[in-house]
Structure 1
Amino acid sequence: MQQHSLGPILGHIAGKPVQANQVTRKGARWDSGRMTPSDGQDTTSQGVARRITEKAHQIVIYWSRSGATELLASKIANLTNSDVCQITLTNPYPADYLETRTRANRERDTGLTPDLNMQLPDLTQYETVYLGFQTWAMTLSEPLKAFLQAYGNELSGKRIMPFETNGGYGIGNCLDVMSQLLQISGATNYTIERPLTIAGNQVDVADTAVREWCD
């Protein structure tokens, strides 16, 4: 497998280094995140980010392809001292951006979400779930759809704090899709709070926005 650099290490989450190629693309190079490569492992080449303790009352659950969402997740997890659970797939998306886009479009058009390869911890102890994802084609990214279809009912009774990265066009209809999938899954008595939404190439300078949102 061809390896792709994800830029410098910008932080850590659950002891794993965080890299994000998007944040190196400022100005005209940004181009709404187009052509941003990944490492072909959905940023898990250094091992899955996971930290489960007995006393935390909040957990960060997220999926990331090229690292921007993972960097945002690391900021939230470190600021709130939350547990961490990274969403991983049986078949990671390709490192090549165009190949990933083709696959994601096919999944969205057919409604066939990717298979998950993860173990969700018992969420009983958690009051708040920070849920991280991307806006793809102005809607919820396919891995988050898969997660909510499989585990949405586990979010019953939780305070859900959505955070997302995007190409600069905002969150689209992600929250509407999230609500629909939660209802379909049978989740009850949950609340979805105001989302934190950050352009993918601005996550490295979003500390103030993250802190204010967490507060």
Structure 2
Amino acid sequence: MLTRKEFLKAILLAAAAGSTTLVQAQTASKTLVVYYSWSGNTREMAQAIAKELKADIYEIRTVTPYPEAYNATVDLAHEQLRQNARPAIQKDVPDLSQYSTILLGTPNWWSHVAMPVFTFMDQNDLSGKVILPFVTHGGGMSSCERNIRNKYPKADVREGLAVYGSSFSLDEIRQWLKENKIG
């Protein structure tokens, strides 16, 4: 039989353990917008999404920037894709374990996610998370959503949003989030 003191101590320990679980559960439900942008289109969209959701935001940045000239970047991106290259990215990724939902943004480069996004995906396991892809493009979603689904078969990858250039609207974003039960 427990003494009164032992009983009260056990109750306090159980309550403390319960509140720790609650804090962890609240932390794990956070949302992060992760994106790579070369021209700024994907950045603008990512910022609008993060503002709409009041979510944290993280920009994937390459160690060596892509050329400023469009054609030089297109050529380099094509060569990297052909070689399955992974450009080095900055190693300042936030602790992803605190997020349950990741919105992953990329430009469509040669019908795939941009190579820096491939690097991010290779370096970060998002299994068990909800992932919403968003893509800025000049030619559709192409294989971008499939690239993400293939990389994260143990994640809940939901329907992506593809937007031509910088032509997104807040209504379009809100509808997409609503359809995916986010926000």
TM-score normalised by structure 1 residue count: 0.67
Aligned 8 A contact 1:62 1:87 in 2: yes
Deviation at 1:126, TM superposition (A): 1.3
Matched, 1:202 2:164: no
8 A Cα contact 2:28 2:97, kept in partner: no
Q: Find out whether 1:111 has 2:84 as its counterpart.
A: yes
Q: C-alpha distance in 2, partners of 1:194/1:179?
A: 10
**Structure 2 match to 1:84:** 57
Higher helix residue share: 2
Contact 1:63–1:69 (CA under 8 A) maintained in structure 2 = yes
Q: CA deviation at 1:56?
A: 6.9
Identical-pair percentage: 29
- Unmatched 5+ stretches in structure 1: 1-53
RMSD: 1.6
CA distance in 2, matches of 1:200, 1:128: 25
1:73-152 mapped onto 2 (5 Å cutoff) = 73-151=46-124
Bigger mean CA deviation after superposition, 55-64 or 129-138: 55-64
How many residue pairs get aligned? The number is 152
Q: 1:55 to 1:78 in 2, by over 3 A?
A: farther
**Is the contact made by 2:137 and 2:163 (CA closer than 8 Å) also made in structure 1?**
yes
TM normalised by structure 2 equals 0.78
Aligned in 2, Cα 1:129/1:96: closer, same or farther, shift over 3 Å? same
Give the deviation of 1:70 after TM superposition. Answer: 0.4
Offset, 1:181: 2.5
Which of the numbers 30, 38, 42 marks the counterpart of 1:57? 30
User: Secondary structure of the equivalent of 2:98?
Assistant: coil
What residue identity is the alignment partner of 1:165? Answer: T
Q: 1:134-153 deviations in whole A, cap 9, x for unaligned?
A: 111222211111111111x1
- CA distance in 1 between partners of 2:47 and 2:29 (Å): 16
Structure possessing the higher radius of gyration over alpha carbons: 2
Q: Which amino acid aligns with 1:96?
A: A
C-alpha distance in structure 1 between counterparts of 2:112 and 2:28, whole Å: 34
Runs of 4+ in 1 over 4 A off after TM superposition: none
SS of residue matched to 1:157: coil
Partners of 1:118 and 1:65 lie apart in 2 by: 18
CA contact (8 A) 1:149 1:182 kept: no
CA distance in 1, matches of 2:130, 2:79: 32
Instruction: Give the 3-state SS of the residue equivalent to 1:198 in structure 2.
Output: strand
